[in-house]
Amino acid sequence: MESRRGNPMTTEEEYSDLAATRRIHRLNSHISPIVTTQPATSVVQTENCAAAVAVRTTKKLEVNGQALSLYMKGKHMDIQEKVYEFFNSRPDLQTPIEISKDDHRDLCMRQLYGLVREAGIRPFRYVADDPAKYFAIMEAVGSVDMSLGIKMGVQYSLWGGSVINLGTKKHRDKYFDGIDNLDYTGCFAMTELHHGSNVQGLQTTATFDPIKDEFVIDTPHDGAIKWWIGNAAVHGKFATVFARLILPTHDTKGVSDMGVHAFIVPIRDMKTHQTLPGVEIQDCGHKVGLNGVDNGALRFSSVRIPRDNLLNRFGDVARDGKYTSSLPTINKRFGATLGELVGGRVGLAYASVGVLKISATIAIRYSLLRQQFGPPKQPEVSILDYQSQQHKLMPMLASTYAYHFATVYLVEKYSEMKKTHDEQLVADVHALSAGLKSYVTSYTAKSLSVCREACGGHGYAAVNRFGSLRNDHDIFQTFEGDNTVLLQQVAGDLLKQYKEKFQGGTLTVTWNYLRESMNTYLAQPNPVTARWEGEEHLRDPKFQLDAFRYRTSRLLQSVALRLNKHTKTLGTFGAWNRCLNHLLTLAESHIESVILAKFIEAVQNCSEPSAKAALKLVCDLYALDRIWGDIGTYRNVDYVAPNKAKAIHKLTEYLSFQVRNVAKELVDAFELPDHVTRAPIAMQSDAYAQYTQVVGF
């Protein structure tokens, strides 16, 4: 028989072979597109069954890894290396894959003792005086064991930080050395069973007794039990307890509620470690992650503490019960108190980037090593040569760099704030830390799952760390401020700045761009620039930053109009709730604008040519990937014409391919050695050999 084309019919077996050959050919065209000899600026379409791919003949970028790493690490490389070297030299202090909750807690405490008393690293000395160094230590410690990083943060940033930031000289003199050397292990008792984000709604009370010159700490009902308190279940001897300050009065009420204040409350005997009278401590039990941290619940029944145990920087009670404060209202005192505790958010944002570096390094090193499929009768190819794998991991790598520079900037501003106590800077850091903590931790949480999936079945092995990293990091989205709540704070500040702009007021540092971009937004998009699609234009940082800021300004203008409209019928609270998703999108857009601005600045400040070129490449990918991700917004208002949108998409794919070519150098610049990543599939030599040894071969 012959086919309709007049050719002899193939047998079923021959047909199957031909079909298989065609499938292999198509697969090969995805990963090895035909490269022409046209100039680098041209775009060649290669046809395959999925899509047309933009191809350029560009030489592989040569990256000076040492220069890039030095630029990334900055001035605190030495202290981080000291942390890595100590734990690498102490196998007995390295966390095993399988460990019980109680053993993990014990190990975590021994790790902290080892860091402080054996390695001689004293993080508390840098909390107030050199925050950048403290956060560098925290990043290194968290890479050893995230539970250790959090336990260190509870001891020094929360418990210790509350004493030195909310107290006065008498508190520093009495407690500093004991906190520093771990004699005074402590807790930060803010969260209650019924109140987490709404700190002003806390119900624990501290009633002043003028006869005995003491405060009486009480848990009035079960909803006021302090909950999820780190260091409380096993190791803590003290707690900074946030409670409503109740003072006796001579009016008909009999008492006056002065709002939430902080008090030092001993919870265990210094010698016997037994729970003190009136204090009840329960264990919060096994958690999804961070089981090296002993979270507990605290209930107080008429626990008496000296009047001096009030942390009295922003409000004090005299011997006669008279209250004094330099701040006139409860709200101002509360704001000042929380403002001094913003370091926790700064630390979490910075630490989250550290987690992202580890997970991206593991996934990318594995993707470079792992080979699957390939052209007929040729070697299999690296899975990072697949466009789909590049799409998962290369924008993530670019984002990791972007968040690194943004959080370094945040730490710098926080350090400056601690030195100057400038009110405008305090407000700016408060909003910036809220936004970056929320945005970065949410992104890292999602990326951990992407990295696990990108490593296939091997990513599911506990020894390769994605499970523990994901579980330990997950709570970063909740503590130190729920991410959704924090984004609302950012949106609220943006609306406040929006109002200031139209009233002729000054804008704080982070919002300066709004003055110009709001004016741009109120004008129509330029129909000429909306159609520019050349690579030079799309990779121009001015175009990229203008696009980010235009989107933010558009969102701000539109949500302000919506709030004004709905407030008339729903009231303030109802209008805010009606526009809530819009407000969250606005906050995220603003934070992305800040991140890109700091990334562009970091590129411009890099003096070594090859490192600068590498940073420019990943910065362009970060910017264009974000623009493409929200291309509908730009198309809806004709900010980007259809041909330009298509060019952005093609260029984004091309940049991902270019980043793939230097992916090894880019992750190596994080300087995370094998004993830090601790994932056999990410080892830089003999990865498979080490992996097989883990399972017993």
Under 8 Å between Cβ of 219 and 299? yes
> What pLDDT is attached to residue 49?
29
Tokens at 56, concatenated: 């350029």
Tokens at 530, concatenated: 């909306």
Return the bridge partners of 263, or none.
Answer: 241, 310
Tokens at 49, concatenated: 């069954």
Q: What residue ranges do the domains of the chain occupy?
A: 67-181, 186-319, 346-505+519-682
> What pLDDT is attached to residue 329?
87
The helix, strand and coil proportions of the chain, stated in percent and rounded to the nearest 5, come to: 60, 10, 30
What's the CATH class of domain 186-319?
mainly beta
44-46/53-55 β-pairing: antiparallel
> What pLDDT is attached to residue 276?
98
- 207 annotated among ligand-binding-site residues: no
44-46/255-266 β-pairing: unpaired
Return the bridge partners of 300, or none.
Answer: 279
Under 8 Å between Cβ of 284 and 228? yes
Alpha-carbon distances, residue 589 vs 399, 545, 551 (angstroms): 15, 12, 7
**Closest by CA position to 146, among listed 479, 470, 483:** 470
Domains 67-181 and 346-505+519-682 share a fold: no
Q: List per-block mean pLDDT (blocks of 10 residues) for the chain, which spans 697 residues.
A: 38 43 44 36 31 48 89 86 93 93 98 97 93 93 94 96 95 97 97 87 95 97 96 97 93 87 97 97 96 97 98 95 90 82 91 95 93 89 93 97 97 91 86 96 97 93 92 94 94 87 54 61 66 90 94 92 93 94 96 97 95 97 97 90 94 95 94 78 70 67
- 191 annotated among ligand-binding-site residues: yes
296-300/279-283 β-pairing: antiparallel
- Could you give the angle at which helices 687-694 and 343-369 cross, rounded to 10 degrees? 100
- Owner of token pair 């540092």: 509
Whether 480 is a known active-site residue: answer yes
Catalytic residue from among 139, 192, 214, 480: 480
* CATH tag, 67-181: 1.10.540
DSSP for 52-80 reads: -EEE---PPPP--HHHHHHHHHGGGHHHH
What's the CATH class of domain 346-505+519-682?
mainly alpha
- Owner of token pair 């697949």: 386
> What pLDDT is attached to residue 569?
94
C-alpha to C-alpha distance for 269 and 263, rounded to whole angstroms: 18
Tokens at 445, concatenated: 């949480």
C-alpha to C-alpha distance for 215 and 267, rounded to whole angstroms: 15
C-alpha to C-alpha distance for 201 and 678, rounded to whole angstroms: 43
Under 8 Å between Cβ of 632 and 551? no
Alpha-carbon distances, residue 127 vs 154, 202, 346 (angstroms): 12, 27, 12
> What pLDDT is attached to residue 26?
44
- Owner of token pair 């175009």: 543
> What pLDDT is attached to residue 690?
66
